[in-house]
Amino acid sequence: MERTTAQPLRTCIGCRRTAARSELLRLVMDRGDAQRVVADPRRRLPGRGAWLHPDQACLKQAVRRRAFHRAFRGPVDISGVDDFFRSSVSAAAGPDTVQAESGSEI
C-alpha cells in the first residue's frame, strides 16, 4: 500500500525543490514593518508567504538568487530569518548536539 500524503506541496525558494508544507519553513512579511521578512514556524501569520527548507544552504541559495526579492516583490530585510536560523537551526544542525536536548541540567 502506498502512503498518499494529502499535504499540498510547496517549492523551496532556495533549492527550488518541492516538499510537503510540513518540511518547509514558512516565511512571511512582517505586517508591522513592511520590508522585514520573518520566519513563521507555526504557519499562522497572515500575508504573503514564501517557503524555504530549514537549511542554511537553502537560505544562502535563496539570497544569492534574489529569491526573496522575487517572492515578496521588492527588496526585503531578511535579518529576521537569519536570526531564526541562527537560534533554532544551529541548535538542531549538528549531529553531535542532538543529545544535549534534554537531561543536560544534571
**DSSP assigned state of 86:** I
Nearer to Zn ion, 5 or 99 (CB): 5
| C-alpha cell recorded at residue 93 | 544542525
Comparison of 2 and 64: residue with beta carbon closer to Zn ion: 64
Q: How far apart are CA 52 and CA 17, in angstroms?
A: 9
Smallest CA-to-CA distance from 7 within 26, 20, 19, 25 is with 20
Q: Closer CB to Zn ion, residue 34 or residue 57?
A: 57
Which residue number, 25 or 38, has a Cβ lying nearer to Zn ion? 25
Residue 12 interacts with Zn ion (CB under 5 A)? Answer: yes
Which of 14, 28, 29, 76: binder of Zn ion (CB under 5 A)?
A: 14
Residues of this chain, 35-94, that bind Zn ion according to CB under 5 A: 53, 58
Which of 15, 45, 63, 89 contacts Zn ion by CB under 5 A?
A: 15
Written as one string, the DSSP assignment of 24-82 is: SEEEEE-SSSTTBEEE-TTS---S-EEEE-S-HHHHHHHHHTTHHHHHTTS--B-HHHH
Can residue 25 be called a binding residue for Zn ion (CB under 5 A)? no
Residues that bind Zn ion (CB under 5 A): 12, 14-15, 53, 58
